[in-house]
Structure 1
Amino acid sequence: MSSIIYALVVRDPDIVLSEYSRAQGNFPQITRNILSKLPRSGKFSYTYNEKYCYHYISEENIVFICLSDAEFPRRICFLFLDDIKSNFMKRYGQVVNTVIAFGVNAEFAEVLKTRMIYFNTDPNADKLQTIRSSVDQVKNIMIENIDKVLARGEKVELLVKKSEVMSEQAITMKKRAIQVRRKMWFQNIKLYLVCGCVFLFLLLLLMMSVCSPDFSEC
């Protein structure tokens, strides 16, 4: 697994203030040999032997260097260098020009080790990947919310259609109810008329039986 292997802090021209290596090898000697070839301003990467890559930040007369496997992401290496630079200058910025060789190594080598482990193993160290993950998460949430809105829109549309159908059915039922009421009213009128006629006919028969057919006896 690729990783950051070695790191050191140097004050020009070649005074090593602190270093840490997580693997056995001649990395310190090789680094000291190429120090004089490195530019002394800005951020650079330097491929060595096709298998490894040096990355360094040079600021004023202090150089922060790390060695990594060639395939290890460069952006993480520079995040590591920015981190140790910030830590180092916060601790020793006031006295950095007077510190003797390895004068702060006993303390700062542990910082190099701790931060190296962090940037080698913790996914959160890759800020770009973290941002991408956050963007993907936000995008997924937005897509999910859009799907929900669309689903709600479909449901609302269905409800509107159902409401329209129910409204039409209600109007139809109302018309039918009016028609039924009118029909029942006419039927009741007819019934009342028939009953009235029957009653008058019976009354006439009764009067004729009492008063004679020509009503001469009444």
Structure 2
Amino acid sequence: MKLYSLSVHYKGASKVNLLKAAYDLSSFSFFQRSSVQEFMTFTSSLIVERSQKGSRASVKEQEYLCHVYVRNDSLSGVVIADSEYPSRVCFTLLDKVLDEFSKQVDSIDWPSGSSETIKYTALDSYLAKYQNPREADAMTKVQAELDETKIILHNTMESLLERGEKLDDLVSKSEHLGTQSKAFYKTARKQNSCCEIM
């Protein structure tokens, strides 16, 4: 599970304006990074442009999933992740980032702002924090703990069932041993009855 890009856009009437973006391209080779970043920037802007105001969507592009949230005030966010990353966590991240961004950056600056002029530095830290959805999102963490508990309970039940089978085997062996000991006792008694000591 990996997040590659987190970006904030303004969806204007004629064009989409990239306000701020953060990228984690460490999994790509040094020579691929600039072209991958261009691809992600272009794809993010295109998805925002084609999305309606007040909508959320997940779009598959090659091996990536692009999660977009366009608010009614035209402020938009895009997360690009691999297909294993949970969508719910991506939309939680977008909600949090867009709310914080709208509080810190005046809406007058959105239509004309750029990456250089907007003073918002939290995207890199959010991108780093949300790389592991279990640590960043409480519900995902609880779900993972529940899954682990379910596995432990399943293993415990299996071992209890195995013990039950072993106990059944021991009971049947002890019954068989009891039958054999009775037969041995009867045979020994018959043998001893012919030789009485006087």
Q: Does 1:44 align with 2:62?
A: no
SS at match of 1:159: helix
- TM-score, with length taken from structure 2: 0.56
TM-score norm. by structure 1 comes to 0.52
Change (3 A) 1:166 1:61: same
CA displacement at 1:28 relative to structure 2: 6.4
Tell me how far apart the structure 1 counterparts of residues 118 and 41 of structure 2 sit (CA, whole Å). 14
| Cα pair distance change 1:152/1:26, threshold 3 Å | closer
Larger fraction in helix: 1
Q: Name the structure 1 match of 2:96.
A: 86
Separation of aligned partners in 1, 2:163 and 2:43: 66
Give the alignment partner of residue 164 of structure 1, picking from 157, 169, 175.
Answer: 175
Q: Does 1:59 align with 2:60?
A: no
**Cα distance in 2 for residues equivalent to 1:99 and 1:174:** 99
Percent sequence identity is 15
Q: How does 1:1-218 map to 2 (within 5 A)?
A: 3-10=3-10, 18-22=19-23, 25=38, 37-45=50-58, 55-66=67-78, 68=80, 72-73=82-83, 76=86, 79-89=89-99, 91=100, 99-101=107-109, 105-106=118-119, 109-119=120-130, 121-122=131-132, 124=134, 135=147, 137=148, 140-142=151-153, 144-176=155-187, 178-179=189-190, 182-184=193-195, 187-188=196-197, 191=198
* 5+ residue gaps, structure 1: 192-218
Letter in 2 for 1:66: V
Structure (1 or 2) with the larger CA radius of gyration: 1
Gaps of 5+ in 2: 24-33
Aligned residues: 177
Q: Which stretch of structure 1 is more off in the superposition, 169-178 or 28-37?
A: 28-37
Per-residue deviation, residues 70-112 of structure 1 (Å, max 9, x unmatched):
xx328646633421322543x477x589643169942xx3322
Partner amino acid, structure 1, of 2:166: K
